[in-house]
Structure 1
Amino acid sequence: MALPENMRQLQQRLALRRLLFQRLFRPPSSPHRPFTSNTSLASRSRPQLPFLSIPVTTRRRERYFTTKTRRWLRHEGSLFVRYNIALWGSLVCVAGIILVLNQERLEKEFPTPHEWSFITRMRVRGAKNADKHEGPKGKNWDEIIVSCKEALKRLEDPNKDGAGVRELINDEPLSIDGLGSVGKDVSDKSENWRRGYYETMMLLASSLERVDGWVKDRTRNIVCPPQMVVGPSNPRPEPMPPGAPSAPKEENCEPAYESAENTYLRILTTNGFNAKQRLDAALAYAYFLDYKKLPDAAERVYDWAISIATESADPSSPPPVDRRTLTINDQATPPSDNLLSALTAIATQKARAGDLSAALPMFISLLRARRSLPSTAPDGSAGETTATARSSWWLKLWELAKPPQYPPPPPDGTQPPWRSPKNLCEEAALHLYIGEILYSSQDKAQMREEGVAWTRDGVDLAEEQLRNLGKAGAADAREKCKECLTTGLENWSTMVKRLAKQEAEQRRKVEEGGGGGGSTFGAFWSQPKPQEVEARWAAEEKVVQERARRTSELLIDAAPSQSFAQSLLRA
């Protein structure tokens, strides 16, 4: 049925109006033409080419922060945050694992009391590690001293690790300029706490000894030894190390560290240390005063050390030592380990100072006292172990999982020792001291021969004990025996070389004096030539060389170095 004419015209008008509305309200970003995008004839798969679009002569404004853009930015931001958290979190975890493993390794090598806080233990372990291992420029003394001081501050702070540490209560409190009260009262703390506190103070004192006299340049904050400072008191300064700044001037310098004397006095006046600890501190303090050329002060400290060593003696028995000659009284009870150590140190100091007439009776008295000691331990045990059983990998892993145990306390030195391997090496050292003193007395040739004999006996005793200990013996005993054997071989070789040289000179003089003239029958009464009969000391010189070659395997540790993993798995 055909539509009327007016209806057909109305449909055309509506189509035209719809087309105009579409072009009017079409988004400005759509560059496509109507017949390609708005008609049903256009193919959806047809590519939209730029040259088919209507050219735009005017610049249109485009919105950037749309809903789609906002979603994209939110997605990119979340990815950035997640990747950074994962990356930096992984780095922090790896650094934490490395720190824990490193502290675990240091704890096995340098144990610290478990009741201390983690920061205090870390500082003490770092100081001990820096003291044992040297860097390219030597030991970092500043790191050791600063770490020890910070650890001691925490140990003496009641709010941190010093709960229960009190000030000394005396009628006249001891004090040092710049330090205030000298020592503390740590008697209420546990034995492990006190031992760690003592070791930290001794490490600080020994480090301050090494930097005694060092100065600091105020203008450049440089620390160096005094022999490198340029000034009137040092007209010929030593050169600075390669790569270091120029030497400081004397007018710009001030003392860099406090004296080690202050730390030693703090140890000696602290209440809570046992006799062995106070004696070791007193002897170290006396050595420091000898180094500072203060013999009177050193002698007073040595007397203080003898008082510490004899304070545990029985008052009803005779005095253990003659205070005039400093020799051990044979009628008294057996001397304690502290007394033997104190008298040995004093005799060594007298011999070093040249007072041989006073040192020789002391050494002989000490050797007689050590030989009279029992050959077995007081508890009937074998004493120091000479070998350790090899453990399996499973046991090593189990030991790795457990925290390292703090070592048990050593003896306090108030009881008489027994002839353990270490004390037998001490006897060998006394043989060497006596031999050196006898050889140094140039009065008679017989005294020099006796000195060589004493030295030879000391070498034999040190070698015998070192072979008995084996590779798995106690570390301190092996170290002492190796030191005695090395020193004994050097002394023995030096003595024999000098005697052989004197002997050769005497024989040469005899040959020159008896070479001219003589009776007809001189050939029948002449002595053999030097080439025919070898001299006595020249033959013994060869014996010394053979002994040094034979004992070289005992003096060199050929054990391979352990890796990081092996050190962690060490049982």
Structure 2
Amino acid sequence: MVHSRLSPSVSRRLLRSLVRNPGVDFFYSKPPRSRSFAHKPSLLLVARPIPRPQLPFLHPVSRTNVVQAQIGRFISTERKQRWKAQFWQQLRFHAYLWPSLLLATILTMGIQQVKFERDYPTPRDWSFWSRWLLRNAKFTEFSDDAKLQQVLTDWARAGRYYLDVLARLESEDQDGKFLMPTEASGTYADSLGIAGYDISAKSEQWRRGYHDTLMGAGRVAENLDGMCRRIREVSGRVYPRESIPGPDNPRPKPLPWDKKKGHEKAPTAEEVEDAFPAPEMFYMKVLTTDGFDTRQRLEAALAYADWCDFRGLNETAEDTYQWAMDIAQSGLRNGSTSVVDTKTGMIVKGKEDEVTENILNVCTSYAVHHAKAGNVKQALPVFLSVLRARKNLLPSPYGVTGTPRQNNEDEGWWSYLYALKDMIIDKPYPSAPPDGNERPYHTLKEACEEVGLMTYIGEILFATSDSEREKGLSWTRDSVEAAEAVMWVMEEQKEEDGKERCRECLETGLENWKDMSRQMARLAAKKEQDIASGSGFLGLGLGKASQVAKAHKETQRWEEENVQIELRRQKTVPLTQPIKPPAQGLL
């Protein structure tokens, strides 16, 4: 046996060595190679293994060696491959995400602009950005979705759009090529330093879009009158002049509370300027521009005259109305200038067959101007002359609607097909409206204008003369009945042209009729009370009973009419307050 052959001293020595070095193989006398402490095999390392240094106690260690050791321990082949895979994965994700979001945003804006173009068409020969700005300007002004809190129109934003469009249209480098300033004509616009352009060489679409832009800027100027902003802050907040402290305003009105800024301090008078140019700048530019038709120039003249009425400039308004009458008569085909008496605004009797739509509009506006100013004796003859001229209009050859009947694209499955076609194929620009130099036909729209005239006449008669009160009430009653009849025909014919005007006349007529009837009932009750408290003929009570009975009958008559008015109001609720069906689907 092996154990028996070994000496006791050798066996003890061998056992001690095994205890001290248990890693030594019993059958292999050479000890194994030592490994570096806390290091993996070199095949799995990016950096070369750094053997653990044998340093004395408290020997300073360099920072570089520590960092290299930590990196060498942290960065391995597995981590490097994992990071590389994650990097390429993130790169592919963002390469797909951001271009997709960009394309989706562009697609959304494109669909939105297509809808804007359908609602507010723009001239096709304008540049891309000019059409873009005009669409946004009209959307900001007219759409309910763009209003602040669904109530207020953001006129400052709409004004910035309109001014940008005008700057591009009047710029030689963009859409205003070959524009020539007009020569001075000695008019009121020349005294203000306002001069238009000669746009006769431009297309009809270009001229119509330019007119829409100028009129839109005029409307913005009217609504921003009395507002200011900080100097050189085009996109800044607008402030009312009454809130700006200065020598002319020692006690300024505090600004309203702002949820974001709280109580904002208003700037001083030296730090602000007008928020928008004056309205006459845009209206006069339309009147002094060569290339606009009669209707476009007359629209600007009436808008400026109405603005002057609002500002209390009666003399300027009178001059502007005289100018508007000359413009309306300048479009007559036979060159006649004696259809309207420019001093009184009345249509000359016997000339009703020569009146045009422009003449009817300007005379009606002139009569309203007198009525607002309290000159009812001058307004009533003008209203009567316009009504007489409208009664002599010829019926339309196309029926009560006044337009040839076209294929109905809003019924059945055809509506979906036409809507899809409009989204794919750009609709043509709408045809030009008539210039107003032709005699209109008697249509539903003209019938609504007659109803408005009857409402004006009834209100004037009732307010100006005690003896004509019943006659004025009779005119108002007839106007309500006529408006109701026209509205029901419009509902049946699905006619929208002039419907809003007729609805306003119906509401106004019902309100006037109710007020007049109540006032007549109060007067009749007071008269009955006076008769009952009196002593009759010669103080003997003769005929008192018959007079009381007659007065009581008159009072009952007006009370019954008040009941009839309420029944009429309930009957016309579907006309005055129509229920709009909810939107159904994308198409």
Q: What band does the TM-score fall into relative to the shorter chain?
A: 0.7 to 0.9
Query: Paired residue for 2:366, among 335, 346, 367?
Result: 346
Query: Paired residue for 1:375, among 395, 398, 407?
Result: 395
In the alignment, structure 1 residue 481 sits paired with structure 2 residue 494: no
Comparing 57-66 with 491-500, greater Cα deviation is found at 57-66
Q: In structure 2, what is the equivalent of residue 555 of structure 1?
A: 576
Q: In structure 2, what is the equivalent of residue 216 of structure 1?
A: 229
Q: In structure 1, what is the equivalent of residue 107 of structure 2?
A: 97
After superposition, residues 389-428 of structure 1 pair within 5 angstroms as 389-392=410-413, 393-428=416-451
Give the letter for the 1:183 counterpart: G
Query: Paired residue for 1:321, among 323, 340, 360?
Result: 340
- Cα deviation, 1:533-569, whole Å, max 9, x if unaligned, reads 7532222222211111111111112012426x53xx2
Q: In structure 1, what is the equivalent of residue 12 of structure 2?
A: none
Gaps of at least 5 residues in structure 1 are 1-18, 38-47, 49-54
Give the letter for the 2:238 counterpart: V
Gaps of at least 5 residues in structure 2 are 1-28, 45-50, 55-64
Q: CA deviation at 1:357?
A: 1.6
Q: In structure 2, what is the equivalent of residue 149 of structure 1?
A: 163
Per the alignment, in what secondary structure is the counterpart of residue 436 of structure 1? helix
In the alignment, structure 1 residue 193 sits paired with structure 2 residue 206: yes
Q: CA deviation at 1:97?
A: 1.5
CA contact (8 A) 2:399 2:443 kept: no
Q: CA deviation at 1:248?
A: 4.3
CA contact (8 A) 1:108 1:404 kept: yes
Query: Paired residue for 1:228, among 224, 234, 243?
Result: 243
Query: In structure 2, what is the Cα distance between the partners aligned to 1:491 and 1:170?
Result: 50
Backbone CA RMSD of aligned residues: 3.8
Q: In structure 1, what is the equivalent of residue 377 of structure 2?
A: 357
Number of residue-to-residue matches in the alignment: 524
Alpha carbons of structure 1 residues 300 and 516: separation in structure 2 relative to 1, 3 Å: closer
Query: Paired residue for 1:506, among 515, 518, 527?
Result: 527
Query: In structure 2, what is the Cα distance between the partners aligned to 1:389 and 1:76?
Result: 55
Alpha carbons of structure 1 residues 144 and 520: separation in structure 2 relative to 1, 3 Å: closer
Comparing 143-152 with 72-81, greater Cα deviation is found at 72-81
Q: In structure 2, what is the equivalent of residue 207 of structure 1?
A: 220
Q: CA deviation at 1:519?
A: 6.5
Query: In structure 2, what is the Cα distance between the partners aligned to 1:231 and 1:219?
Result: 20
Q: In structure 2, what is the equivalent of residue 266 of structure 1?
A: 285
Q: CA deviation at 1:308?
A: 0.8
Q: In structure 2, what is the equivalent of residue 114 of structure 1?
A: 124
Q: In structure 2, what is the equivalent of residue 366 of structure 1?
A: 386
After superposition, residues 65-76 of structure 1 pair within 5 angstroms as 76=86
Alpha carbons of structure 1 residues 517 and 297: separation in structure 2 relative to 1, 3 Å: closer
Query: Paired residue for 2:479, among 458, 463, 471?
Result: 458
Q: In structure 1, what is the equivalent of residue 257 of structure 2?
A: 242
Query: In structure 1, what is the Cα distance between the partners aligned to 2:552 and 2:171?
Result: 78
CA contact (8 A) 2:329 2:336 kept: no
Query: In structure 1, what is the Cα distance between the partners aligned to 2:316 and 2:539?
Result: 66
Per the alignment, in what secondary structure is the counterpart of residue 254 of structure 1? strand
CA contact (8 A) 1:127 1:148 kept: yes
Query: In structure 1, what is the Cα distance between the partners aligned to 2:493 and 2:501?
Result: 15
TM-score (norm 2): 0.79
Q: In structure 1, what is the equivalent of residue 16 of structure 2?
A: none
- Cα deviation, 1:391-435, whole Å, max 9, x if unaligned, reads 413443233222233222111100000111111110111111111
Q: CA deviation at 1:225?
A: 1.9
Comparing 509-518 with 273-282, greater Cα deviation is found at 509-518
Larger RCO: Structure 1 or Structure 2 (Cα < 8 Å, ≥ 6 residues apart)?
1
Alpha carbons of structure 1 residues 302 and 520: separation in structure 2 relative to 1, 3 Å: closer
Q: In structure 2, what is the equivalent of residue 298 of structure 1?
A: 317
Alpha carbons of structure 1 residues 513 and 559: separation in structure 2 relative to 1, 3 Å: same
TM-score (norm 1): 0.81
Q: In structure 2, what is the equivalent of residue 82 of structure 1?
A: 92
Give the letter for the 1:228 counterpart: S
Q: CA deviation at 1:527?
A: 4.5
Alpha carbons of structure 1 residues 432 and 532: separation in structure 2 relative to 1, 3 Å: closer
- Cα deviation, 1:136-165, whole Å, max 9, x if unaligned, reads 27221111000011111122223322334x
- Cα deviation, 1:333-376, whole Å, max 9, x if unaligned, reads 42010011011101110111111121111111101100001012
